[in-house]
Amino acid sequence: MLVWSTFLTAVLAATDTTRLGPGPEVTITVDSSRKELVLTAGPYDLPNMPPVDEHAMMERSMSHDTPIQHFQWPIEGWLRGFELGLEDSRGNPVPRHVVHHMIVVNFSRRMLLYEAPERLLGAGAETGDIKVPKTIGVPMEPGMEIGVYVAWHNDTGADLQGVHLTLRLLWTPKNMTPRPVNSMPIYMDVNLTVGGSNTFDVPPGRSEKAHEFVLPLSGHLLGVGGHLHDYGVSVRLEDAESGKVLAVVKATRDSAGQVSRISRKLFGVTGDGLRMKGHHRYRVVGEYDNPTGETLVRGAMAHMSGLFAPEDMRQWPKIDPSNPDYQRDLVALQVKEAGEQEGHEGGHHSGH
């Protein structure tokens, strides 16, 4: 992993900017007045690709992946959202959907359900910017090692030259009164193999794929979204012991089945959220409706992700560097270090 020992000192001034890594120029700026950590990266040259549906892109790995860019988180406080913007060399807006997915990884903390570094947030082609109230947020500490990478898919019909990406990470300072509720990313995938692929085959017609898990600790689910590929219908969360449906997010699709957005379910707006019990079995289920008459090989993903407020943060699982799953995930991410093509392995769409 790359570590910049001088980074923290350099970014404490609100107007200072630090460049990271080889390749496209990457800068990190702390804007203390706006409470934003701003990452800018580019230029990227994105050749046009033929428009293909999701299952074809998964099978052929048809996307441009950028290497992971590392930096150390400089601020004590709470992360509460992000804004993602793109523009070309002339300053004109670039369509958001050319970002197939963008992932921010926190190597200093693990995921709740998986032995893997925390996927702090993510955005896909169907995902909009996300902001949560200042009363909640993901707790962050100075020195946490963060990585960011993007998978592109330019199907605009023209080559895009000199594209720049701007990621604004919104934060709440440590002296906020009252203190925000610690609200952690939670990721629930129907087919995740840590360090491997989370794609799966979709047979003709209606079908479902499910995965059961045991929640390590008690807490409240504050809100969830999801990710589906074309022909996806919904993702739902169930109590595996009672069969009760707890949450459903649905896809907005056109007449051809192409997914344009996924709904969100917000439990914490008017109350404490949906309580989930530690050491209890739950189930996440993805539903598809494939009208093609053919099995779509590795044509689908389905997951639900959101914010989870643990009742006791001290019970959050710790990183075990010797765990085989953790090691496999690091190997998969190291491929990203080199900017190589490797398809879309598990966790790449996770976010909050």
Mean pLDDT score across all residues of the chain: 85
pLDDT band at 351 (very low <50, low <70, confident <90, very high): very low
What is the rounded CA–CA span in Å between residue 341 and residue 151? 10
Element (H, E) at 189: strand 184-189
CATH of 183-319, one of 2.170.8.10, 2.60.120.230, 3.10.20.30, 3.30.110.30: 2.60.120.230
Residue 77, strand partner residues? 140, 173
Select from 295, 24, 3 the least CA-distant residue to 152. Answer: 24
pLDDT in tens, 233-263: 999 999 999 999 999 999 999 999 999 899 9
* Least confident among 64-73, 103-112, 229-238, 305-314: 64-73
Where do you find CATH 2.60.120.230 in the chain?
183-319
What is the rounded CA–CA span in Å between residue 104 and residue 122? 6
pLDDT in tens, 47-64: 998 765 555 554 444 455
Residue carrying structure tokens 């100075």: 142
Instruction: Give the residue with greater pLDDT, 337 vs 263.
Output: 263
pLDDT in tens, 149-191: 898 989 899 999 999 999 999 999 999 999 999 999 999 999 9
What is the rounded CA–CA span in Å between residue 264 and residue 221? 12
Mean pLDDT to the nearest integer, 20-37: 82
Class of domain 7-173: mainly beta
Classify strands 77-87 and 130-131 as parallel, antiparallel or unpaired. Answer: antiparallel
Query: Which token pair is 114?
Result: 């998986």
- Between the alpha carbon of residue 150 and those of residues 240, 246, 254, the distances in Å are 35, 32, 26
Prediction pTM value: 0.82
